[in-house]
Amino acid sequence: MSEPIRLLAGKRIVLGVTGSIAVYKAADLASKLTQTGARVDVVMTESAQRFVTPLTFQAVTGRPVYTDLWQGGSAGLPTHIAHVGLGEGADVLFIAPCSANTLAKLAQGLADDLLSVTALAARCPLILAPAMDGSMYEHPATQANVQTLLQRGAAVIEPVWGRFASGLEGRGRLPEVPALIGHLRHLLGMRWGALAGRRIVVTAGGTREAIDPVRYVGNHSSGKQGYAIAQAALDAGAQVTLISSAHLLAPVGVRFIQVESAADVLEAVLASIPQADALIMAAAVADFRPQQAADRKIKKSDDEGLTLTLGRTADVLLRVAEVRAASGWPRVVVGFAAESHDLLANAQAKLSTKRLDLLVANDVSAPDAGFAVDTNRVVLLRPAQAPEALPLLSKQAVAERIVDEVARLIRAADDA
């Protein structure tokens, strides 16, 4: 079971399902959307029902499935207004998979089945995920319909390249469910989010400092906390730059900068902070690196060890403080502190030396917090205020708290 997603929890999603072999993915999509806490009402076209029965969707959403223009009463609505009620009460109408036929109907404004009638009656955001044979998607008629719908304000999730049931290959496959939900979050975040139009830079994961071409000095950071922050900022509508050495699935909508070493992080951060509303440094950046990285693999001998001399890396946050003092960017700076002892004293010192607006202190000695696990227990420190200890939370929930705090700090900077 996935964790509820704040952006979608309590929202009313009408999921339109049309005739395509990709209907099987729509069943999983309906299930995952329901697990986010959304109320999912499925409307199926007649062709969709030839691939999967309504019972499947009813089972995964726990709600009646709509198939017939003349059906009514099951949502407590009088028969003749059932379709209008579905569209009008929705927060979003998401059609996935959307066939060439339904795209054409929507572009023309036809209303001959429950889904097309619902789409005409709806005034909420319309999101379409076309899925069809590659040649059908590329056909000028389909492309013209897509353009018409885009100009009218619909959002279109581009199909991906792949192999079809026909055995042919092309661009027409429905993206996988996590990508579909990622697109939905990105599009809705931009419409509803408190950080819409803001620019946020997030760093995540550890760094690798080369010893030789095959070995490095690194740390245990997985990137989970930083990626969760990037996703929470996207949910809040921000334009997000994610700088990371981790290889997790990047949230849909981020501008991703792959890095390796502390020097790479410094370079990417300095290039990204002009005009940024906030920088959130969740990355575990190395403090030390081998003074000399060997060009060729160091050969071992049986009787001798290897002595490495480590030098200091640049402190990214200290450099950011200098840039900020001179330019005013970024407007808000958040740092982390990973501590194995004396958490509050060490964190308090970092808050002031690094001139931060907010410091998130982690006790990384606890088994359920810090590196690699899915939960975290943090203390929030702000200048001249008492520390605020949060309970054990998922990294997603910690990320949402940090993003709320960043939104508040940006508003305060606006008002200053």
What tokens were used for 232? 């929470």
Does residue 56 interact with ligand PMT by CB under 6 A? Answer: no
For 208, which DSSP code? -
Does residue 245 interact with ligand PMT by CB under 6 A? Answer: no
Question: Which positions from 180 through 239 interact with ligand PMT, judged by CB under 6 A?
Answer: 205, 221-226
* Burial (Cβ within 10 Å: 0-12, 13-18, ≥19) of residue 220: exposed
Question: Which positions from 283 through 342 interact with ligand PMT, judged by CB under 6 A?
Answer: 283-285, 287, 313, 315-317, 335-338
Q: What x-and-dash track marks residues 335-374 binding ligand PMT by CB under 6 A? A: xxxx-----------x-----------x-x-----xxx--
Residues paired with 199 in a beta bridge: 239
The residue written with tokens 């009088």 in the block is: 78
- Output the CA–CA distances (angstroms, integers) from residue 109 to 82, 118, 205, in the order listed: 19, 11, 48
Give me the DSSP letters along 274-315.
TT-SEEEE-SB--SEEESS--SSPPPP-SS------EEEPP-
From 108-116, 251-259, 275-283, 301-309, span contacting ligand PMT (CB under 6 A): 275-283
Nearer to ligand PMT, 98 or 279 (CB): 279
Least distance in Å: CB of 98 to ligand PMT?
36
Task: Provide CB contacts within 8 A for 260, sequence distance 6+.
Answer: 207, 208, 245
**CA separation for the pair 154, 96 (Å, rounded):** 13
Alpha helices in 13-121 (DSSP H): 23-35, 46-51, 54-61, 82-88, 100-108, 114-121
Least distance in Å: CB of 71 to ligand PMT?
48
Alpha helices in 132-254 (DSSP H): 134-138, 140-151, 177-192, 224-235
Does residue 281 interact with ligand PMT by CB under 6 A? Answer: yes
Nearer to ligand PMT, 60 or 285 (CB): 285
- Residue among 219, 346, 362, 376 flagged as catalytic: 219
The residue written with tokens 């726990």 in the block is: 62
**CA separation for the pair 279, 329 (Å, rounded):** 9
Task: Provide CB contacts within 8 A for 132, sequence distance 6+.
Answer: 20, 97, 99, 100, 142, 159, 172
Does residue 164 interact with ligand PMT by CB under 6 A? Answer: no
Least distance in Å: CB of 209 to ligand PMT?
11
Q: Binding residues for ligand PMT, how many (CB under 6 A)?
A: 28
Element (H, E) at 352: helix 343-353
**CA separation for the pair 20, 22 (Å, rounded):** 5
Q: Which of 17, 262, 273, 276 binds ligand PMT (CB under 6 A)?
A: 262
CB 371 within 8 A of CB 163: no
From 37-45, 82-90, 173-181, 282-290, span contacting ligand PMT (CB under 6 A): 282-290
Least distance in Å: CB of 391 to ligand PMT?
16
Nearer to ligand PMT, 18 or 203 (CB): 203
Least distance in Å: CB of 188 to ligand PMT?
25
From 101-109, 188-196, 276-284, 408-416, span contacting ligand PMT (CB under 6 A): 276-284
Question: Which positions from 67 through 106 interact with ligand PMT, judged by CB under 6 A?
Answer: none
**CA separation for the pair 136, 120 (Å, rounded):** 24
Least distance in Å: CB of 193 to ligand PMT?
23
Nearer to ligand PMT, 173 or 224 (CB): 224
Does residue 396 interact with ligand PMT by CB under 6 A? Answer: no
Task: Provide CB contacts within 8 A for 345, sequence distance 6+.
Answer: none
Nearer to ligand PMT, 87 or 226 (CB): 226
Would residue 101 show up in a list of annotated catalytic residues for this protein?
Answer: no
Residues annotated as catalytic are 219
Q: Which residues bind ligand PMT (CB under 6 A)?
A: 205, 221-226, 262, 281-285, 287, 313, 315-317, 335-338, 350, 362, 364, 370-372
